[in-house]
Structure 1
Amino acid sequence: MAKTDSFATFLIIGPTCFFLGILFSSFPYDYNVLWTTPPDREVYFKILEDHIKFLYASPPLISRILHIVIGTGIVGFLMKLYRATEANYLFDGASLVLYFAGILVYITNIVKGFRVVTAGIYGNVDKPVEGDEPEYISREDTLRVFAASNTILALVLVGVLTLQAGQYYALKKEEAEIAAIEEEEQDKKKAGKKKQ
């Protein structure tokens, strides 16, 4: 594996682990909203709602750092795909698709969830057509979608890490096979010289 590939892999794995850490820190808030049914669930909805409002009210520096880290991961992918081998196309191409899927989940569900929860505007804000009853998404459902989006994003990022680990394993296995073939050829050459 070339040094630039190793550095590019670091640029991919670093941000991915960073985001998984952020999602892990949100897991205690999401757990009781999504995975269990405690007797008084309203308390947990309120805690998650307060947590989301707190994060949204954080200084702009926080979101800028987050976006720089997202960009760092993309730079890592571009570096690996610049002079790509077949392994890069397979593993890094699939990783890039997952990474962009994660970015889409972040933009469409998480950022939108931050705005909706902070504004406190739940449900469909479009005017209903006459005769139709408006369809509203409740506060609880909005918070569940936000928590589920965190889980989906975590699974996508684990997929990126798995593909990167798979690529590393495949390249190491290929290097070992090439070394074994070269060693076998050298043994044959030595055996041929001894016969002469």
Structure 2
Amino acid sequence: MGKGNSFATFLIIGPTCFFLGILFSSFPYDYNVLWTTPPDREHYFKVLEDHIKFLYASPPIITRILHIAIGTGLIGFITKLYKASEANMLFDGASLVLYMAGITVYLTNIVKGFRVVTAGIYGAVEGLPIEDGTENDYVSREDTLRVFAASNTILALVLVGVLTLQAGQWYALRKEEAEIEGFAKQAEEKKKAGKKNK
């Protein structure tokens, strides 16, 4: 792996770990909403709701840093895939697909969740009729918060997949380099043995 390729890998792994850190810090909020049923469950929904509202109201610099980190990862992929070998295409191509899936989850579920929760536009549990007489099909407050928490978990799994593929690529390249060195040594030994026989 060349120096340029190593730097491009760093551009991918750095932002991926950064996003995993953000998601890990959100895990205490998501845990009681998704995986447990405590008696005071409403309290945990309120805590997650307040957390989402607080994050959405954060200064614009926070969003800019997040988007710069996303862009840095994409630059890393473009750099690695430019004139890539077949092995790079396999590992980096699959990593890029996962990374783009993560961006899609972020844009469609998480950003939308931020807006819905902050605005407080939830579907009525009773299913109030709308003007044309159809049922209100908006998602309820609890379901919206569960979808938000589940999206964080899905995004974390996708990012772990990116790291796994990058680690797999590193291992495959090291293995290939070791095999090439082994073949070179064998060829050299045969050459030396051939000279001795002469």
TM over 0.5: yes
Matched-pair identity in %? 79
Tell me how far 1:87 sits from its aligned partner. Answer: 1.1
Equivalent in the alignment of 1:192 = 194
- TM-score w.r.t. the length of structure 2 is 0.95
Equivalent in the alignment of 1:12 = 12
1:21 aligned onto 2:21: yes
Alpha-carbon distance in structure 2 between the residues aligned to 1:53 and 1:151: 19
Tell me how far 1:136 sits from its aligned partner. Answer: 2.9
Tell me how far 1:185 sits from its aligned partner. Answer: 0.4
Match of 1:20, as an amino acid?
L
Q: CA-to-partner distance for each residue in 1:113-133, whole Å, 9 max, x for gaps?
A: 000000000139xx8584532
1:77 aligned onto 2:83: no
Match of 1:87, as an amino acid?
A
Alpha-carbon distance in structure 2 between the residues aligned to 1:44 and 1:62: 25
Alpha-carbon distance in structure 1 between the residues aligned to 2:108 and 2:38: 29
Tell me how far 1:134 sits from its aligned partner. Answer: 2.2
- TM-score w.r.t. the length of structure 1 is 0.96
Equivalent in the alignment of 1:153 = 155
Alpha-carbon distance in structure 2 between the residues aligned to 1:133 and 1:45: 25
Equivalent in the alignment of 1:37 = 37
Gaps of 5+ in 1: none
Q: Which moved more, 1:155-164 or 1:127-136?
A: 127-136
Match of 1:44, as an amino acid?
Y
> Which of 180, 183, 190 is the matching residue for 1:181?
183
Tell me how large the CA RMSD over aligned residues is: 1.3
What SS is found at the alignment partner of 2:66? helix
> Which of 128, 145, 152 is the matching residue for 1:143?
145
Instruction: Report the count of equivalent residues.
Output: 194
Gaps of 5+ in 2: none
Alpha-carbon distance in structure 2 between the residues aligned to 1:98 and 1:129: 42
Match of 2:136, as an amino acid?
P
Alpha-carbon distance in structure 2 between the residues aligned to 1:66 and 1:136: 29
Q: Which moved more, 1:171-180 or 1:133-142?
A: 133-142
1:100 aligned onto 2:105: no
